[in-house]
Structure formats: C-alpha cells, structure tokens
Amino acid sequence: MISLDNLRKRSGLVLGGVGVALGAFLLGDLMSSGSSLLNGGQGVIGAVNDEVIDYREFETEAQNLDRIFNSPQDRNVLRDNLWNDKVNDVIMSEQYNELGLAISADELAGLSFGYKSAEMSVTAKQFFGVTGQDVTAAQLAGVIQQIHDNDPQRWMYFENVIRKERLGQKYINLIRQGLNASTIDADVYYNEQATQASGRYVFKAFDTNIEVTDAELASYYSAHTEEFPQGASRELSIAVFDITPTQADKDATKAQILDLVEDKTVYNKTSKANEIVNGFRTTNDAVAFVNMYSDDTFDAVFYAEGQLSPSIESEMRTAEVGYVYGPYEEDNSYKIARLNARRNDSVQVAIIELAMDASEETANEIYAQASEMAAATDVANFEILADEKNVALTTTTVLDADRTIAGIGEARNLVFWAYNENTSVNMVKLDDQNSRIVVMMLTEVSEEGTQALEAVSAQIEIAVKKEKSGEALMVQFNTHISAASTIDELATAMTLTTEQVNTMAFSSNAIPGGFEPNVVGAFYGMEKGQLSKPVLGNNGVYVVYTDDFISSTAPKDLTALKKQLEGQLQPRANFEATNALRSLAEIEDNRAKFY
C-alpha cells in the first residue's frame, strides 16, 4: 500500500515526476489558451488549423509553468516547449475526437494512483516514487483533496500530463496494430535478400562541358520552382568597434597605481597645513587600504606554496612581511601586491588592482567613429567608411526567430530591428553595448517564396547540363544497341570498357561506380543474358547485362521474417505519425514578433 505520508511529501515535486512524460507530447497545459475566435492580429501569437493562440493567454500560461517548475531555466526554452505542446494539442485532439479516444475519470484515477488495480503511469510512479501498489478509495479521496487544496493548478498540470500521455499511447497503439507484414511482404523481402546478381555494364558520364543557353536555364527554373523554396531572411553588414584602452590609457592607469605605493604630502584645507598620507608600503591597515583603492576587495585567504599567481609566487615566498611588489600586469589590470602576513608555510597577500579600461576620452572618440559610420547611406558608402576607419565588415544572414547573430552573440533586439516593418534596405542601426559599439546595415531583404533565378543559377546550370547531356547519351546508346547483340559488342562500338559486378544484393543501391539505385534495379529487372535499355543514372547513362542470379539455399521462414519486418515497421509509428500530421497542419507561428 502506498504511504500517504509519502504521497503528501512528494505532492510538490511535480518537476522531477513529469520529466519522463515530456517525450512525444511535451508540456501539459494548465488551461485551454487556444481560441477559435479571432482576437486581432497584434494579440495573436499563432494559429493551428484556424484555432487561434492568444499572446496574453500564452504568456500567462508560460508564467504559470515557470512557477510550477520552480527551477532556474531558460524562459525561451520553456516557451518553445509550450508552443510545441499547444500545436500537438490541437492536431492530436482532432484525431482523438474523430476516433472517439478518451480517458474516463476512473481510468485517470487508476493511471494516477494505481486505483482498483489499474497500472500506474510512468509519470505517476515518478511523481510519487512508488512501484504502483493500490490505494483505497478513502485514501485516494484524501490525497486528491489535499493536493487540490494546496495547489490546484499544479494538480491540473499533473493530471493533464498523465491524460495526454495515455491518449498518445492509445493513438500510437492503434496505428501500430495496423502496421502488419503480410506473407507476400515476407516472401518478396526474402527473395530480394536471398538473391544476388552478377553481371557487367557499360557507362558514359555526363558531359559537363556541354553548352546551355539562358533560355534553357529559364525554362528549367520555371518548370521546377518548387525545388527552390526560400524562407524569409535578412542580410546584414556588421562593423564592431571594440572600446579598448589606448597605450595612453594604460600608462595613466599605471601612473595611478604607482601613486598609491609611497607616502605623499598633501595640503589639508581644514587645518591649513601639509600632512603626510601613508602609501600602500607604509600603511598600518592594508585591508582598509585595499578596500578603499582597489577594484576588488581584500582577500583574507592564506595560500599554500604554489597556490598564488605565478606573477608573485616566488616574490611573496621569500619576502618579509610588508614587502611591496609591482606594479605588474595581469588579467588586463595593473596590480601591486604586499605581503600582509605569514602562517606556517602559507602567506596572506594584499593586492590592489586597477583595470586598464578605456578612458572617457577614448570611449567618446570610438563612439564618434561609429556614429560617422552609422551615417552611411548605402552599402558602397558603408564599405568605404569601414575601410577609412580600418574596421572589418562581416556579412551574415538572420532568420526572424534567431536570438543570436554570428560574431555578436545574443542580439534579439537587433534581429527585431532587422525585421521591423519600418526598417528598409540601407538603413543603419548603432547599438552601444558598453564594451563595444555595433554598427549594422540592412543590405538585403528576402521574403518567403521562391529563390530568384540568379541565386540558384549555378545549381540549375548543373541540372540542365545533366538533363541535356543525358538526352544526347540516350540517343547514342539507342543507336548502337540496335546493332549490338552482346555488351562486349556495344562497348567496342562505343569505345567503352565493360565493368564487372559480382554478388550484388538488390538492397545495396550501389555499384562499383557509386550510388546508382536505378542501375541496380535494371540488373534485377532483366532476364539472364539480356541487354537492358539505356538507364539514366546519377553520374551518366548505363546499359547493363545480367550474367547470373545466385539464390540462397537457406529455407524460407516467413513467420520469422514477418516478425522481423513488423519489428522494423511498427516503431516508426512512434514519431512518423505525429510528424506526418504536423506537416499536413496549417500552422501560423508569430512568436518572433513577440519574443
């Protein structure tokens, strides 16, 4: 029997419990955020098969999920999971309704608690940390009431995960039951695997030097536009101005830290007299001195031999307490170190460090340079200014959902700018990022549709040459085949060499010359001792001649083969069914406009 104390203790640990259930159907939703009523384009984060997903409801649900998980995680990942789950919800709910699939209250209770000897779901076992024993009706009611009272939204989430997990299993099981291998399937498979062909072929490669005209390229492009899809993208030209210290800035930092080492005389306006101010070498309170002047606070740790920075290790080991070393350069800072104390073989060192940062004058000068470049009016002007200022330009393409930009890193705000409807080609964005200034120009806008002919001309030229050369080679082969009775005669007539193929399986899809499934099929499609017709392959045109077929003498075990085929076929239902449904669905994804 499940311990009720155990149930109560674990009722808040939903995160670990539901991890297993996030596989095929991802996150469960706490409320139905999809709406079939249009609420206006600005508030619509997307739609699935005309079912609208409202932005405000989606974001509220994401925040609720963040509270439920109650652990540090990337909010973008959480939203992505939630989106995928809502898409699956709409698509799969349509399937469940058409098939009449449902989960009854008793079934859900059984899956959640092993009630009435039902099998607990994997998620429930994870949640409660049990092996699936029964609980009584009274105990069940008490546990449910407690969870409902403490956190009803968490309980709804938990129930939805289990419910959708089970509905998904039912759906996949229905598909798996329909994926069976027949005796004919097993017999064909046996014959394909048990028979090997041997023979010869002649081959002539495509002529890659054949001339093609612009009209032929345009004609091929028009007939194959579906092969050249284009997603929406933006091309950016980017210059990065790093705000780094000049040598003068570094020298000023060095002078500043040197000024801290020795005593100095200062005029006290209150007493109207000169006073001696102790430096780092003579101060009686190194701790306070470090905390007052250093970029980092005092480190009170005593370091054993070999644990100090190599820059000061040997100096501090042999020095007397109060010894000051430096300034020295380390980690883009100037530092001075003072041996503060010894304890047995360990030493405590007081270190003042000042970062070698760019001065305000340097930062202003770099900003002025970036601002001048941001005034560019077109790409040519942008490139000229980059050359004058000796700053490198990089070109990159970003998609509307990108969160990073190559060479810059996290830059969602800049992607938003590139896709803003008010941003047009040749517009420039200056982005001050503290340690650097990014200047970028939008140089090209590509909308979703078909790639331009110019963009795919090289690819089309190869295809047209292959097609045109293939047609010419087919004519050549057909002319000589009519006068040849054997493959050797054909080879001689065309000044070609015969190639040998031995023990080739039907499933190989390859010959010694490369991947040529059409040629393999031609070998198996011919009677022994016959010449084939010309075969258009991937690399050229072939004619094949089958010398012999060798069949296996192993007895047919169609029962075992059927099980083998079903073992290969049925697992595909786990992912191919939902992928196919998703590809058929009408999905409008506007997340990039909001996040």
Query: Does 343 lie in the same domain as 318?
Result: yes
* Whether residues 240 and 254 fall in one domain: no
**pLDDT level of residue 77 (50, 70, 90 thresholds):** confident
> Domain check: are 285 and 200 in the same one?
no
Question: Per the structure block, which two tokens stand in for 82?
Answer: 């939630």
Per-residue pLDDT of 150-191, as tens digits, reads 777 777 888 888 899 899 989 998 988 888 888 888 888 877
- Give dist(CA 165, CA 158) in Å, integer: 11
Q: How many angstroms separate the first and last alpha carbons of the chain?
A: 48
- Euclidean distance between CA atoms 558 and 560, whole angstroms: 5
Q: For residue 240, tell me if it sits in a domain.
A: yes
Q: Where are the alpha helices (DSSP H) in 228-322?
A: 247-258, 286-293, 313-318
- Which of 355, 385, 416 is the last residue in one of the domains? 355
User: Which CATH number fits the domain that encloses residue 224?
Assistant: 3.10.50
pLDDT, average across residues 389-401: 93
Residue 52 domain boundaries = 4-177+586-593
- Predicted confidence at residue 371, as pLDDT, reads 96
Task: Please report, for residues 26, 103, 157, 355, 435, the alpha-carbon distance to residue 160 in angstroms, rounded to integers and kept in the order given.
Answer: 11, 11, 5, 54, 47
Mean pLDDT of the chain: 85
Q: Which of 133-147, 369-383, 539-553, 572-586 has the highest mean pLDDT?
A: 369-383
**pLDDT band at 401; cut points 50, 70, 90:** confident
Two tokens at 380?
A: 């040519």
Give the number of domains in the chain: 4
Per-residue pLDDT at 257: 97
94 with 213, same domain?
no
Q: Which H or E element spans position 394?
A: strand 393-398
What CA–CA distance (Å, rounded) separates 59 from 292?
46
Rounded CA separation 30/20 (Å): 18
544 and 422 share one domain: no
Assess whether 43 and 167 both reside in one domain.
yes
Q: How confident is the model at residue 559 (pLDDT cuts 50, 70, 90)?
A: confident
Query: In this predicted model, what pLDDT tens digit does every residue of 239-267 receive, in sequence order?
Result: 999 999 999 999 999 999 999 999 999 88
More confident residue, 4 or 373: 373
User: How high is the pLDDT of residue 138?
Assistant: 66
In the numeric block, which tokens belong to residue 205? 């490669």
In a domain, 24, yes or no: yes
Q: Are residue 460 and residue 494 in the same domain, yes or no?
A: yes
Q: What is the pLDDT of residues 304-362, one digit of tens each?
A: 999 999 999 999 999 999 999 999 999 999 999 999 999 989 999 999 999 999 999 99
Average pLDDT over residues 96-104: 90
**Which of 99-103, 120-124, 229-233, 391-395 is predicted least confidently?**
120-124
| Per-residue confidence band for 519, with pLDDT thresholds at 50, 70 and 90 | very high
Same-domain status, 20 and 134: yes
Is the distance from CB of 319 to CB of 363 less than 8 angstroms? no
Instruction: Write out the H or E segment, with its range, that includes residue 189.
Output: helix 183-194
Strand, helix or coil at 436? Answer: strand
Whether the model pTM is above 0.85: no
* Same domain as 498, residue 432: no
Residue 35's nearest CA partner among 66, 58, 61, 64 is: 58
Confidence tier at 268 by pLDDT (50, 70, 90): confident
The residues, ordered by sequence, that sit 6+ positions from 204 with a Cβ below 8 Å of its Cβ are 473, 476, 477, 494, 496, 540, 541
Greater pLDDT, 382 or 5? 382
Q: Are residues 89 and 143 in the same domain?
A: yes
- Regarding beta strands 510-511 and 514-515, do their DSSP bridges make them parallel or antiparallel, or are they unpaired? antiparallel
Q: Which residue has the higher pLDDT, 475 or 506?
A: 475
Residue 507 lies in a domain: yes
- What pLDDT does residue 292 have? 96
Higher pLDDT: 64 or 129? It is 64
Query: Is residue 25 located within the same domain as residue 131?
Result: yes
**Given this model, what pLDDT does residue 555 score?**
67
What pLDDT does residue 306 have? 92
Identify whether 103 is part of a domain: yes
- Does residue 573 lie within any of the structural domains? no
Residue 506 confidence (pLDDT):
82
Residue 30 pLDDT exceeds 60? no
Of 324, 355, 386, which one is at a domain's C-terminal end?
355
Domain boundary among the residues 427, 447, 467 is at: 447
| pLDDT value of residue 27 | 36
Q: Is the pLDDT of residue 387 over 90?
A: yes
Point out the least confidently predicted range of 45-54, 185-194, 251-260, 440-449: 185-194
According to DSSP H, which parts of 294-437 are helical?
Answer: 313-318, 360-374, 379-388, 412-419
In whole angstroms, give the CA distance from residue 401 to residue 80: 11
DSSP structure string for 406-430: TTTEE-HHHHHHHH-TT--TT-EEE
566 with 181: CB under 8 angstroms?
yes
Tell whether 258 is covered by a domain: yes
* Domain-located, residue 575: no
Task: Output b/e per residue, 271-285; b: 16+ Cβ within 10 A.
Answer: eeeeeeeebbeebee
Residue with more model confidence, 64 or 368:
368
Q: Are residues 337 and 373 in the same domain?
A: no
Give domain status of residue 559, yes or no. no
Hey, what amino acid is at 29? D
In angstroms, the CA 220 to CA 202 distance is 29
- Residue 1 pLDDT > 70, yes or no? no
DSSP string for 212-249: --HHHHHHHHHHTGGGSEE--EEEEEEEEEE----HHH
pLDDT digits (tens, 9 = 90+) for 402-419: 989 998 999 999 999 999
Nearest Cα neighbor of 103 from 162, 20, 34 is: 162
